[in-house]
Amino acid sequence: MQNAHDPRRNRLLASLPPDVWQRWATLLEPFTLSLGEVLYEANTTMRHVYFPTTAIVSLLYVMENGASAEIAVVGKEGLVGISLFMGGGSTPSRAVVQSAGQGFRIRADVAYREFNGCEPVMHLLLRYTQALITQMAQTAVCNRHHSVDQQLCRWLLLSLDALEGNELTMTHELIANMLGVRRVGVTEAAMKLQAAGAIRYSRGRISVLDRSKLERMTCECYGVVKREYVRLLPPREAT
């Protein structure tokens, strides 16, 4: 079993070749991600790239009136801060910790140097970026064409994939902000899922009781995203 503070609990870090990993192990800094913490604001220069291990980070687009909607979720399968090594340096989205936990970070200048100077790192991060773009595109399609019930199922499944365990601490209001829908819609959808025996919701804590039911009740969007992550990212290395 991996140590709770092992960086290789993150799928990307676990996929680094042994010689590259030996170098990265000296560059990574342990970092606690607190609930609601903003890792970066829109249109600001990022100082670090973050690799969650036991936390989930939401990438949100925030409107001028303060309304927001989630465009992607990042957990142990990925990283936060792709614009750093893609050359942009900033992005119009905001990164907020959705589920508290642990992770690791690496300085922006070091990440940029590694991306440009190490071919295995470049290829791995580009494949991850393609998978993340697929998630963003599919989220936009899902929010436009599918019911709140289906959106909630997709969101729960993606969050479970990004996190170890089957429980999420999240109020209906926060979920509504993530999905960009009314709170009453999320409440009604959650009640349907609970009545179906798929989840149990109590005081801001969602426990997934039957994942297979969620997968049957969701739309095709979750499957599209899941297949791309499987196709583009290497399996976790044994450590």
**Are 167 and 79 part of one and the same domain?**
no
Confidence at residue 62, expressed as pLDDT on a 0 to 100 scale: 80
Domain that holds residue 194: 147-218
**Are 122 and 78 part of one and the same domain?**
yes
Q: Is residue 141 part of a domain?
A: no
Q: Which two tokens stand for residue 143?
A: 């929010």
**Distance between CA atoms of 194 and 15, rounded to whole angstroms?**
37
Confidence at residue 236, expressed as pLDDT on a 0 to 100 scale: 60
Confidence at residue 2, expressed as pLDDT on a 0 to 100 scale: 53
Q: Is residue 99 part of a domain?
A: yes
Q: Is residue 230 part of a domain?
A: no
Q: Per residue in 211-220, pLDDT tens?
A: 999 999 998 9
Cα–Cα nearest to 80, from 102, 107, 100, 50: 50
CATH number at residue 158: 1.10.10.10
**Are 98 and 173 part of one and the same domain?**
no
Q: What is the pTM of this model?
A: 0.87
Low-confidence ranges of the chain (pLDDT < 50): 1, 238-239
**Are 25 and 114 part of one and the same domain?**
yes
Q: Per residue in 151-210, pLDDT tens?
A: 889 989 988 888 877 888 776 677 776 676 777 887 888 888 899 999 898 877 889 999
Cα–Cα nearest to 213, from 192, 194, 198: 198
Confidence at residue 238, expressed as pLDDT on a 0 to 100 scale: 41
